[in-house]
Amino acid sequence: MERIGNWLDERLGLARVWRTIFHRHVPVGLNWMYTLGAATLFVIALQVTTGILLALNYSDSPDHAYDSVLYITNSIPFGWIIRSLHHWGASALVVLLVLHMVTAFGLGAYKAPREATWMVGVLLLVICLGFGFTGYLLPWDQKAYWATTVGTNIPGAAPLIGAWLVELLRGGTEVGTVTLARFYAAHVLIFPAILAFLLFVHLALVIWHGVSVPPVLWFKGLRGWNKGQLDHDPDVTPALDPLVTPKPLDAEQYHKRYAAFKARGPRFWPEVIGDDTKFMLLVFIVLIGLTVVLGVSSEARADPTDTAYIPRPEWYFMFLFQLLKYFPGSVEWLGVLVLPGLAIAVLFLVPFFSRGEERRLRYRPIGGGIMAVVLVGIVGLTVQAFVTTPPTVLVEHGVALTSQQLLGRQLIDQQGCRSCHIINGQGETKGPSLDGIGQRLTAADIHFYMENPKAYNPAASMTPLIPPLSHEDVEAITQYLLTLPPDTTQAKGGSN
Amino acid sequence: MDNQNTPDGPGSGNACGAEESGTTPRRVFLGYMIATAGTFIGIVAGLPIVGYIVSPLFAKPKDGTWVSLGKVDEFSKSNDPQMVQFTLTQEDGWTEVKQARTAWVVPQGGGNFTVFNGQCTHLGCAYTWQTQGEYAGTFHCPCHDGVYDRNGRVLSGPPPRPLDTLQIKIENGQLNALYEDFHLGIPTKVVI
């Protein structure tokens, strides 16, 4: 065994790579904030894995996309877990990326010599938001279609090139077959290639420079560190006071000081990975919990003719959605295109705006202040968006319909139920009116009847709904029927 | 993260052999902790992943479809086997597709028939009944020269088993067959 190992190592040199990555020491004094990058990487790995599995059974055409996603969710064993993990993983990725970035900013980790690590990180954030934007069109449901229609319309108001931008994004004037194909290609071919490259550079730079020493410790120096043990060479890490000497240390001073912190620090394997693992495990358990408890809410098939649907973006784009409301139509593009674009550019260039040696947040009032204002702004806009735009999209008879009831409402149209029944004041009278049925029958009875009418009433002439529908579909119809009051016909005043 | 390493020279790493090879009790314990957590994540995520990938292997066999091949009288007119083509609507993933299939009807006299699935049992090419030439009076598959007699027995070539017979029934003068496909290239007839 050892001989095989030695033979391979002489050819491949992997032992050296292993030692460089896993046996390297990291500085003393790291805390939980330093595990966020590893957790982000873990979720990316999870997204790649579940994403590849989803692609095995997905069809990127409007005729089949919705059905193939239903097939994954309902017909393939464990398919719902894979899809739900990918769905929640996307949200977790955004949360972790933002936390990772905010802590890196707070720790001043973007400062010399780690400017490039930060800048590549900002590009990774942009790519991941791109994954989110292209990803949620793919199920081709109502939310996907309408949110993308609105989202791709936004650049349209930009002067001169607006219309051109929209057509470029959509591959045509409407969101349609070509849009779905190019969003899919971006999501599974273009972005992953860019992500792989950026991620490689980001990680290589993390290994090359090592992680930053926590700011307070960096400035205090190592004297007295390690439970009162005297530092063997106090001159290497004298206390710094950048308020007096704001210029960065020169390279030689820096490396000497960093090496002293590193020499006292734990090794990457297994100490640091051990801490990373604890946090990854927590993230994983939360994701599995969300997957099992909440799953993915069922949305109706995309219907470009449905004018009643009010689209909502994913929660992590809600602050942009809210921002849109404060800009009048003619300058809307400033608010949602130029402003976020500038914000990303500023974020990208942060290391050049803030070049002093000082990394302690309490001595960086301008940077800290800007970060606080931006965070409060984004959180505030998001909260405001959710408060002012409740998640319900349709109110009938004073009842705000849930997504399940909306699905039921759409299925009733698709199945042609109104060719026999009056539903919500409209339809034929071959069968009984279903308005107010909730006052005559229980939910279980309604469900059971639609599932197999003859088992409930041998004289029934209605054909069973399962198949072609599933139990979830029938329950959706049931839940919608239960919202109908008995007097819709009178209320309509003979309009039909 | 507390630090239990002994201080040593800047940048030189730790000199102690046990420290470097990861054999101190603390490192061994941490190694087990990581392995346990990794195994937990691997199993909880891995079971659905593996199940998802291999699930097609456990799909239940498709039900056969009864197809009407034609009038018994027509097939009885000649003693030669006759080919019948028909279209099946089958569930295919998330869609339904129409698939063209063929069967061969072989009159056996006295109103009896044998019906063969139109695929060669070797690799699934379409074979045909030969009335002239080198293979006259046999079913010949042009792909790899598989040859069967009119009862489907292999006369020569690579086919591993006789032609696959289909279950038939005659109703109101109509010949019907239960169309099924079978695994190809193996000596036994196993329905897909």
Give the residue carrying structure tokens 């109703």: B171
Cα distance between residue A237 and residue A250, in whole Å: 14
Interface A–B counts its CB contacts (< 8 A) at: 115
CB distance from A41 to chain B under 8 Å? no
CB distance from B17 to chain A under 8 Å? no
In a domain, A266, yes or no: yes
Which secondary structure element, helix H or strand E, spans residue B146, and what is its range? strand B146-148
In terms of Cα–Cα distance, which of A127, A122, A139 is closest to A186? A127
Cα distance between residue B75 and residue B71, in whole Å: 7
CB distance from A53 to chain B under 8 Å? yes
Residues A360 and A402 in one domain: no
Q: How confident is the model at residue A64 (pLDDT cuts 50, 70, 90)?
A: very high
Q: Which residue has the higher pLDDT, A433 or B150?
A: B150
Q: Which residue has the higher pLDDT, A461 or A243?
A: A461
Q: pLDDT of A323-342, one tens digit each? A: 888 887 778 788 878 888 99
Q: Which of A85, A259, A280 sits opposite B10 (nearest CB)?
A: A259
* Omega before residue A270 within 30° of 0, cis: yes
Domain termination residue (choose one: A326, A354, A388): A388
A370-to-A209, A210, A343, A364, A374 alpha-carbon distances in Å: 27, 27, 11, 10, 6
Cα distance between residue A234 and residue A226, in whole Å: 13
Q: How far is B96 from chain A (nearest CA, A)?
A: 11
Residues A425 and A313 in one domain: no
Note which residues in 76-105 of chain A have CB less than 8 A from chain B.
76-79, 81-82, 85
Residues A356 and A466 in one domain: no
State which of A152-156, A411-415, A489-493, B47-51 shows the largest mean pLDDT: B47-51
In a domain, A402, yes or no: yes
Residues A100 and A197 in one domain: yes
Report whether A405 contacts A480 (CB < 8 A): yes
Cα distance between residue A230 and residue A210, in whole Å: 25
In terms of Cα–Cα distance, which of A461, A162, A468, A263 is closest to B91? A468
Which amino acid does the sequence have at A474?
V
Note which residues in 343-402 of chain A have CB less than 8 A from chain B.
none
Q: For B13, which residue in chain A has the nearest alpha carbon? A: A263
Would you state the pLDDT for residue A235? 65
Cα distance between residue A320 and residue A74, in whole Å: 34
In a domain, A479, yes or no: yes
Would you state the pLDDT for residue B7? 38
Residues A364 and A407 in one domain: no
Q: How confident is the model at residue B6 (pLDDT cuts 50, 70, 90)?
A: very low
Residues A455 and A314 in one domain: no
In a domain, A18, yes or no: no
Would you state the pLDDT for residue A444? 84
Would you state the pLDDT for residue A303? 84
Rounded (5°) CA angle B166-B169-B172: 145
> Who's near A337: CB < 8 A, 6+ residues apart?
A154, A155, A158
Q: Which residue has the higher pLDDT, A403 or A53?
A: A53
Would you state the pLDDT for residue A219? 87
Pair of tokens at residue B4: 């239990």
Cα distance between residue A131 and residue A184, in whole Å: 10
Would you state the pLDDT for residue A228? 47
Would you state the pLDDT for residue A393? 58
Q: How confident is the model at residue B146 (pLDDT cuts 50, 70, 90)?
A: very high
Q: How confident is the model at residue A467 (pLDDT cuts 50, 70, 90)?
A: confident
Tell me the mean pLDDT in the region A17-21: 90
Note which residues in 149-208 of chain A have CB less than 8 A from chain B.
none
Q: What is the CATH number of the domain that holds A48?
A: 1.20.810.10
pLDDT surpassing 80 at residue A413: no
Residues A159 and A182 in one domain: yes
Contact A273 B93 (CB under 8 A): no
Q: How confident is the model at residue B13 (pLDDT cuts 50, 70, 90)?
A: very low
Q: For A56, which residue in chain B has the nearest alpha carbon? A: B53
CB distance from B109 to chain A under 8 Å? no
Torsions phi, psi for B165 (to 5 deg): -80, 150
Q: pLDDT of A477-493, one tens digit each? A: 888 888 888 765 444 33
User: What residues pair up with B99 in beta bridges, in sequence order?
Assistant: B88
Counting DSSP H helices and E strands in chain B, the numbers are 3, 10
Residues A347 and A430 in one domain: no
A185-to-A55, A143, A146, A402, B54 alpha-carbon distances in Å: 11, 20, 20, 32, 26
Domain termination residue (choose one: A359, A388, A417): A388
Chain B residues within 8 A of A232 when measuring between CB atoms? 7
Q: Which of A68, A263, A277 sits opposite B8 (nearest CB)?
A: A263
Cα distance between residue A90 and residue A131, in whole Å: 8
Q: Which of B8, B31, B40 sits opposite A270 (nearest CB)?
A: B31
Q: For A259, which residue in chain B has the nearest alpha carbon? A: B11
Q: How far is A30 from chain B (nearest CA, A)?
A: 6
Residues A351 and A235 in one domain: yes
Cα distance between residue A372 and residue B56, in whole Å: 52
pLDDT above 90 as % of chain B: 69
Residues A196 and A321 in one domain: yes
Q: For B11, which residue in chain A has the nearest alpha carbon? A: A259
For chain A, the first-to-last Cα distance in angstroms comes to 84
pLDDT surpassing 60 at residue A116: yes
Residues A314 and A440 in one domain: no
In a domain, A420, yes or no: yes
Contact B94 A71 (CB under 8 A): yes
The domain of A356 spans 24-388
Chain B residues within 8 A of A64 when measuring between CB atoms? 94-95
Q: pLDDT of B124-144, one tens digit each? A: 999 999 999 999 999 999 999
Q: For A77, which residue in chain B has the nearest alpha carbon? A: B52
Would you state the pLDDT for residue A66? 94
Chain B residues within 8 A of A52 when measuring between CB atoms? none
Q: Which of A56, A64, A274 sits opposite B94 (nearest CB)?
A: A64
Please state the domain count of chain A: 2
Q: pLDDT of A263-312, one tens digit each? A: 888 999 999 999 999 999 999 999 999 999 988 877 888 888 776 677 78
- Go through chain B and tell me how many residues it has: 192
Q: Which of A81, A226, A274 sits opposite B3 (nearest CB)?
A: A226
Q: What is the CATH number of the domain that holds A464?
A: 1.10.760.10
Note which residues in 222-251 of chain A have CB less than 8 A from chain B.
226, 229, 231-233, 236
In a domain, A4, yes or no: no
CB distance from B23 to chain A under 8 Å? no
Contact B41 A281 (CB under 8 A): yes
Average pLDDT along chain A: 86
Q: How far is A284 from chain B (nearest CA, A)?
A: 7
Q: Which of A229, A232, A274 sits opposite B33 (nearest CB)?
A: A274
* Lowest-confidence pick of A95-109, A154-168, A305-319, A357-371: A305-319
Q: Which residue has the higher pLDDT, A256 or A42?
A: A42
Cα distance between residue A399 and residue A394, in whole Å: 8
In a domain, A3, yes or no: no
Q: Can you spell out the DSSP letters for A298-363? A: --PBP-TT--S------GGGHHHHHHHHTS-GGGHHIIIIIHHHHHHHHHHHHHHH--SS---GGG
Residues A329 and A443 in one domain: no
Q: How confident is the model at residue A471 (pLDDT cuts 50, 70, 90)?
A: confident
Give the residue carrying structure tokens 């993983």: A89
Q: Which of B7, B58, B93 sits opposite A232 (nearest CB)?
A: B7
As to burial, measured by CB atoms within 10 angstroms (0-12 exposed, 13-18 middle, 19+ buried), residue A167 is: middle
pLDDT surpassing 70 at residue A430: yes
Q: pLDDT of A246-264, one tens digit each? A: 677 888 888 988 998 888 8
CB distance from A46 to chain B under 8 Å? yes
Where b means 16+ CB within 10 Å and e means fewer, A260-271 reads bbbbbbbbbbbb
pLDDT surpassing 50 at residue A426: yes
Q: Which of B3, B37, B47 sits opposite A265 (nearest CB)?
A: B3
Q: How confident is the model at residue A395 (pLDDT cuts 50, 70, 90)?
A: low
Domain termination residue (choose one: A357, A388, A419): A388
In a domain, A158, yes or no: yes
Pair of tokens at residue A118: 């930060």
pLDDT surpassing 70 at residue B37: yes
